[in-house]
Amino acid sequence: MAAKKRDGYSDNEHSILYGETGGCCPLCTLPILFKKQGSTKPNKGYEVAHIYPLNPTPSQATALIGYPTPIDINALENVIALCPTCHTKYDKDFKLDELIKLRKIKDGYLSEARAKQTASQHTIQEEVYEILDAIASFDFDETSLSSTNFDVSTVDKKLRTGMSPLQKSEIKMYAISFYVRIRDHIRILEQQDQASVRILQNQINSYYLAMNKQNPENKDFVFNYVAQWISSKSNKPILAAKVLTSFFVQNCEVFDAGTE
């Protein structure tokens, strides 16, 4: 079988590959741009690595038995920016576990890119600004962490699958601590303008559904993308956005979707 040819990647494609890493090699975390001594311009310090090998060696082919081959081996979805050292090590000391690790990292990059693109297409009501400001001003009251004030089983039922225990614990803490106060504040806003609050709820539900469709097996991603979207659109702290997202996990029926 003839060897597959490596594609040349355009400047725009290099921008995508560099941007998704955040400027660091995803394996060793070292910067992948550097300045030579005496130079004022940065130099590229990464190589484009194929996650699924471009031309597997016999030993690699044996390790890859049963692992799906990408439709387009040179597609951006199958390449990632690595520093030269990590790229060389990955190719020469190939292990399926390392491929799976890189595949997971790359899938995270792709998922984040889709979430950002979708976020740009979803608006959010200005009423969310007041809610987030109210959340930021709440005093944390440890006495509120009581099952007598909150039915924690509702969150457990909605998040029974697809979410890590640590993420579930964070959501439960926020919901237990702030649910009643957020609910009461939203009720006050509803008395002033019920339609706007309903629109806000529908907007959050709509973006949640879009994220759930893109990440049906990973509710950690869904929760954090919704919180990031709220924070980005409102220019408010991510912590307040996470608290509000936790409220909607508890309060909105849409968060039951796909949890069975």
Q: Tell me the mean pLDDT in the region 183-206.
A: 90
The mean of the pLDDT values for the chain is: 85
Q: How confident is the model at residue 258 (pLDDT cuts 50, 70, 90)?
A: very low
Domain for residue 215, yes or no?
Answer: yes
Q: Vertex 70, ends 67 and 72: CA angle to 5°?
A: 165
Q: Among 53-57, 149-153, 192-196, whose mean pLDDT is lowest?
A: 149-153
Q: Among 97-106, 119-128, 161-170, 226-235, whose mean pLDDT is lowest?
A: 161-170
- Six-digit token string for 207: 């973006």
Q: Tell me the mean pLDDT in the region 141-155.
A: 55
Gap between the Cα atoms of 202 and 125, Å rounded: 10
Q: How confident is the model at residue 13 (pLDDT cuts 50, 70, 90)?
A: very high
Gap between the Cα atoms of 30 and 217, Å rounded: 31
- For the whole model, what pTM was predicted? 0.77
Q: Which pLDDT score is estimated for 140?
A: 58
User: Is a pLDDT exceeding 70 seen at residue 110?
Assistant: yes
User: Is a pLDDT exceeding 90 seen at residue 239?
Assistant: yes
Please tell me whether residues 73 and 191 are part of one structural domain.
no
Domain for residue 249, yes or no?
Answer: yes
Q: Which pLDDT score is estimated for 57?
A: 87
Structure letter (DSSP) for residue 75: S
Please tell me whether residues 197 and 113 are part of one structural domain.
no
Instruction: Please state, for a pLDDT cut of 70, what percent of the chain lies above it.
Output: 88
Who's near 87: CB < 8 A, 6+ residues apart? Answer: 46, 47, 49
Print the domain residue range for 83.
11-119
Q: Tell me the mean pLDDT in the region 117-135.
A: 90
Q: What is the pLDDT of residues 73-93, one digit of tens each?
A: 999 999 999 999 999 999 988
In one-letter notation, the amino acid at residue 58 is P
Q: Among 79, 103, 119, which residue terminates a domain? A: 119
- Beta-bridged to residue 80, according to DSSP, are 49
- Six-digit token string for 5: 């040819």
Q: Which pLDDT score is estimated for 146?
A: 47
Q: Among 119, 147, 171, which residue terminates a domain? A: 119
Gap between the Cα atoms of 252 and 247, Å rounded: 8
Give the up-direction half-sphere exposure of residue 196: CA atoms within 13 A in the CB hemisphere: 16
Q: What is the pLDDT of residues 47-68, one digit of tens each?
A: 999 999 988 888 888 889 989 8
Number of domains observed in the structure of the chain: 2
Please tell me whether residues 80 and 97 are part of one structural domain.
yes
By the 8 A CB rule, do 43 and 34 touch?
A: yes
